[in-house]
Structure 1
Amino acid sequence: MNHLCVAHRGFSGIAPENTMAAFKLALEQPFVHWVELDVQLSKDGVPVVIHDFTLERTTNGIGKVKDSDWKALQQLDAGSWKSAEYRGEIIPSLAQVLDLCRGRVSLNIELKTAGDMYPGLEKAVLREIVMRGMEGEVVLTSFERAALRRAKELSPEIRTGLIIDARPDDLATQLEQLHCTFLSIGYPRLDRNLMKDLTGRGIAVMAWTVDDRRIMRRLSSMHPELMICTNWPDRWEQVFLLSKHRMWHYIRKLIR
């Protein structure tokens, strides 16, 4: 299906982002094709799924993710900030999310790092992926270009993608130099010409983060292969699936 739906940090419009509750809710939607998530390392080297470098916004913890070991991170409440319904949700490990999603949905795994913040992050993430034979089900993405290079050095066959919120003139060349076949880009940076150029080069393009139905419709007119990343997958369904249903219903009436 065109305009594949990517659930941003799971179904994070309803459930707390990057938790098992958000991922399970996304998987319950038959139109969700991809799930996006963020990975960092605990102090003792466990790949954990959380967006911020600090704990305060989405948990009841304090400090940096990298300064807490896995056992301590598991004790934190990562759900109450969203609503009382999700009290007790924990920070999941990458292993737990991979086990949940394997064979069911593709994963856009963001390597959440900056500089040398997480030595060994790429190796730890790849170990979990390879252990499960999921190399063909994931793309590793990052703002940090060095992380993408390291991932490719460790696993030349793994698919990688640059995350960017800019529009450099030589973007296609940059992607080629990084050996990236995926681009995650802030949606205001996109237009028809860029989409045509990149898809013609074999680059898959995902627009983030789109929660407005009108913007989804506008983006959909640029190119049929543009992927839409959203916190609200149900809005994607309303724009694309329900619109197609209404169109087919109208056509059937015309030909009767």
Structure 2
Amino acid sequence: MNNLCVAHRGFSYKSPENTIAAINMAIAEPYVQWIEIDTQLSSDGIPVVIHDFSLDRTTNGTGLVKDHTWEQLQSLDAGRWKGVAFIGEKIPSLDEVLKLSRGRIRLNIELKTKGDMYIGLEKAVLERISYYHMENEVVLTSFDENALRRVKDYNVKINTGLIINNRPIDLMKRLKDLKCSFLSIKASYLNSALTSTLISQGITVMAWTVDNASGMKRLSSMNSGIMICTNRPDVWAATLLNNKPYFWQKIFHKKE
């Protein structure tokens, strides 16, 4: 697998995270094979792509995402904070991102929820994935184990992954109980032994969020199967494509 590059919220170093601009910029790089995005629900049940529960950091709006309708969310500017070149970028719907990504790049879709914050999120997301026939092009991930259980209740065949920022001793049991085939783990908690155990048990491992060359080299030397989630796909390319650009361009060139 050669440490596949996952663009965190799109190419979020150069463009506003979780926007169409960020998605397009990531897709344009032939070495980016996955994009990680975050999904919540508008108050009228539309899956939208945004990370924070609050609108304040990445838009000119205020308050919680869940308290706004899709129409209200569409009136906000989600790009100005990143620079004048991105003024007018909107919070995209999941539909927009799926349509743009289909057949071109795979998506790690994080379900941003906890407790009963978003009743119906899992079903709404799965319905949109099914509409575009992208079941084999996505993995649904979450910190919320109950959200992952609900996904499997709706579609046992869909790939799911647990997100963790620790190293629990019962990790393999939890993954098995949740029927997860994917683990998204903070990079500092990975070591060679854990990685080897996970991969030997059929678990795909993604380390987050690594933006420097030394961190990427550490993961690469640990195991070539570790996917690297980064805000800096450009640093990934400069670090891990060294002396072998032709190989990567040929093997992983994406469809137009």
TM superposition score category, shorter chain reference: over 0.9
Counterpart for residue 120 of structure 1: 120
CA distance in 1, matches of 2:41, 2:243: 42
Per-residue deviation at 1:244? 3.1
- 1:230 pairs with 2:233: no
Determine the C-alpha separation between the residues in 2 that align with 1:109 and 1:36: 6
Bigger Cα displacement from structure 2, 194-203 vs 232-241: 232-241
Which residue of 1 is the match for residue 23 of structure 2?
23
Cα-to-partner distance string for 1:121-157 (whole Å, 9 max, x where unaligned) = 0000000000110000000000000000000000010
Distance in 2 (CA, whole Å) between partners of 1:27 and 1:245 is 17
Counterpart amino acid of 1:113?
T
Are residue 181 (structure 1) and residue 181 (structure 2) matched? yes
Structure 2 stretches lacking a partner, 5+ long: 247-256
Deviation at 1:241, TM superposition (A): 1.0
Map residues 3-22 of structure 1 onto 2, 5 A cutoff: 3-22=3-22
Q: What RMSD over aligned residues (CA atoms) do the two structures have, in Å? A: 1.2
Q: Which runs of 5+ in 1 are unaligned?
A: 247-256
SS in structure 2 opposite 1:221?
helix
Displacement over 4 Å in runs of 4+: none
- Counterpart AA for 1:142: S
Bigger Rg over Cα: 1
Task: Give a deviation string over 1:148-206, Cα, whole Å, max 9, x none.
Answer: 00000000100000000000111111100100000000000000000000000000000
Distance in 2 between residues matched to 1:42 and 1:56, nearest whole Å: 15
**Identical pairs, percent:** 59
How many residues align structurally? 247
| One-letter amino acid of the structure 2 residue matched with residue 119 of structure 1 | I
Q: Which has the higher contact order (CA 8 A, sep 6+)?
A: 2
Q: Cα deviations across residues 46-105 of structure 1 (Å, max 9, x unaligned)?
A: 000000000000000011000000001001000011111100000000000000000001
SS of the aligned residue for 2:82 comes to coil
Q: Counterpart of 1:66?
A: 66
If the length of structure 1 is used for normalisation, what is the TM-score? Answer: 0.95
Q: Specify the code of the residue in structure 2 equivalent to 1:244.
A: K
Alignment of 1:1-256 (within 5 A): 1-244=1-244
CA distance in structure 1 between the partners assigned to 2:122 and 2:164 by the alignment: 19
Q: CA deviation at 1:245?
A: 5.1
1:192-251: per-residue Cα shift (whole Å, max 9, x none)?
A: 0000000000000000000011110011111110000000101111111124359xxxxx
Aligned to 2:250: none
Letter in 1 for 2:133: G
TM-score (norm 2): 0.95
Equivalent residue letter for 2:7: A
Distance 1:232 1:85 in 2: 19
Distance 2:75 2:147 in 1: 29
CA distance in 1, matches of 2:192, 2:152: 30
